[in-house]
Structure 1
Amino acid sequence: MSSFKKFAAVCLAAQLAFAGAASADDMMASRLGAVLGQERAALSVVPDARMAQLTSLPPASARGIPTEPVVIYDDNFLASLPAASGDDQWKCLAEALYFEARGESVRGLFAVGEVILNRVDNAAYPRSLCGVVNQGTGRRYACQFSYTCDGKSKAVHEQGAWERVGKVAKILLDGTPRDLTGGATHFHTHAVSPSWSRRFTRTATIGAHLFYREPVRTASN
C-alpha cells in the first residue's frame, strides 16, 4: 500500500472513531435529558403534597394535647374567663346552680351541675336540662330542686354570683368530663336526711352537699 493510501486509511479510521464517540456522547446526553425531564415533571406535581406532609401536624391527641375543655377548680380560673351566655338550656342550668349552690366552691358548683347533666343522660328523667330542673315544679314537696317550688322569688340579686355560675354552666355544656361525683343523680345538704339517702350509694361529699348515685332500675324492681 502506498504512503498516501495508508494516510487516507488512518484519517478515515480517525473520523469513524470521532463519529462513534460523538454518537455515544449524544446518546448519553439524550438519556440524561430524559431523566431530568422526568424529575422536573415529578417535581411539578409533588411540591404541594410534599410540603403539606412536611408542615402538617399530627392530631392533638397524638401530641399529648387535651382535646376536651381543661378545667381548674379555682376562682382565679373562672375569673380569667369571659362572661358567659347561652340559650334556654344554659339559662336553666345557670339558674339551678345559682339558687342551689351559689355559695359553694368552684368544685361544689361543678358537682351540682354534674348531677343535673347526669339526670339528662338517665332515661328515668326528662331529656333536657330545663325538663330536669323543672320536673315536679308547682307541686309542693314534689319538685326535684327545691327552689322551683319553695314559693320564693326567682330574681337574681347577686350579679357576681350569677356571672360565676354562668361560666360553670357553659363549661359543663361544652363537654368537660364529669369526674367529681361518680355519676351521682342526687344530692342534699348536711342539714337534711331524705329517705332515699339510705337506699342510694353515696359517691362524694363536696362542700355543703352529699352526692348519691341512684341504683340502676330493672324490670324486677
Structure 2
Amino acid sequence: MKLISKRVGAIALAATITATYGMAGSGAVAQDQAEQVLLETVENEIATGSEEIPNASEVRFVASEVAQDLPEEPVEEEADTSDAASLRELVATIDTSGEMSREMMCLAQAVYFESRGEPLDGQLAVATVVINRAEDRRFPDDYCSVVTQRSQFSFVRGGRIPAPNRGTAAWTRAKAIARIAHRELWDSPADDALYFHATYVRPSWARRMTARATIDNHIFYR
C-alpha cells in the first residue's frame, strides 16, 4: 500500500508539471516534454522511496498561461540631439558613416545638388520640400519618385540622379541634413512648403503660391 500511495502521489505531482508545460508550450513538442517529465518524476519517486510526495488535495493546476518574458534585443543608442543649441551643432552630432537606404540617398542627393552652397537652414528647407511632397497626395509617395519626377528638379537628367562627390564635407552635411529632416529633429523655416525657386528667377507659377520663407538664394512656397 505504501508503494501504491507513493505512485499516486508522484503521478499527482507530475500532473501539475504536465498542466504547466502544456499551457506554456504548444503542439506536439509541449506534449512530449510533459509526458517525459511525467515518466521521469514517477520513476524517480518510486525508485528513491521518498516520503515527500504531495497529497492529491495539495495539487494545484495552473489556470492561466505560464510564460517567461524574453529579454528585449539590445537597441543601438543614438547620439542625444535634444540639447543642440543650433542646427550646425545638431549636424555635427549626426552619424553619417553608415549605409543609407535608397530613399535616404535620394533625399541627401536633392539637398546636395540643390543647396550645398546654401546655409544649413536653406538645405534643411530643401529636404523639407521633398518630404512634404512625398506626404502630399498630389505628388509621388516616396523620396526618389519625388526627386526624379519629370521637370521638377533641374539636376535630374533623364530620370537619373547624378552621383555626388562623396569625399567632400558638402556631401557629409547633406547626409546629416537628410537624416535630421527625415527624423524631424529640427524645425524648418520652410514648414509646409511644397515648392521653391532661386531668387534670381520669377516663374509664373509662383504668383499663385503663398511664400513661406526666403532663405539666402531660395524662396519657398505653399
TM-score, length of structure 1 as denominator length: 0.57
1:209 aligned partner:
218
2:164 aligned partner:
156
Over the matched positions of the two proteins, sequence identity in percent amounts to 35
2:123 aligned partner:
109
1:119 aligned partner:
133
Candidates 180, 191, 196, aligned match of 2:189: 180
Of stretches 91-100 and 76-85 in structure 1, the one that deviates more from structure 2 is: 76-85
Candidates 94, 102, 122, aligned match of 1:81: 94
Cα separation, 1, equivalents of 2:169 and 2:147: 22
Would the alpha carbon gap of residues 75 and 130 (structure 1) be closer, same or farther in structure 2, given more than 3 Å must change?
same
Would the alpha carbon gap of residues 82 and 95 (structure 1) be closer, same or farther in structure 2, given more than 3 Å must change?
same
What per-residue deviation string (whole Å, max 9, x for no partner) do you get for residues 168-203 of structure 1?
111112233654113110000111111111111111
Cα separation, 2, equivalents of 1:98 and 1:188: 15
2:149 aligned partner:
135
What per-residue deviation string (whole Å, max 9, x for no partner) do you get for residues 94-114 of structure 1?
000000000111111111111
Q: Does 1:191 align with 2:200?
A: yes
Contact 1:69 1:171 in 2 (8 A): no
TM-score, length of structure 2 as denominator length: 0.57
Would the alpha carbon gap of residues 200 and 154 (structure 1) be closer, same or farther in structure 2, given more than 3 Å must change?
same
Contact 1:78 1:167 in 2 (8 A): yes
Runs (5+) with no aligned partner, structure 2: 1-79
The structure with the larger Rg is: 1
Cα shift at 1:121: 0.9
2:6 aligned partner:
none
Runs (5+) with no aligned partner, structure 1: 1-66, 137-142, 214-221
Cα separation, 2, equivalents of 1:172 and 1:129: 12
Cα separation, 2, equivalents of 1:89 and 1:71: 26
Q: Which amino acid aligns with 2:220?
A: F
Q: Following TM superposition, where does structure 1 have runs of at least 4 consecutive aligned residues deviating by more than 4 angstroms?
A: 67-73, 150-153
Q: Which amino acid aligns with 1:107?
A: D
Contact 2:193 2:221 in 1 (8 A): yes
Would the alpha carbon gap of residues 146 and 106 (structure 1) be closer, same or farther in structure 2, given more than 3 Å must change?
same
Would the alpha carbon gap of residues 68 and 151 (structure 1) be closer, same or farther in structure 2, given more than 3 Å must change?
closer
Cα shift at 1:76: 4.0
Secondary structure, in 3 states, of the residue corresponding to 1:146? coil
What count of residue pairs does the alignment treat as equivalent? 141
Cα shift at 1:83: 2.0
Cα separation, 1, equivalents of 2:194 and 2:84: 22
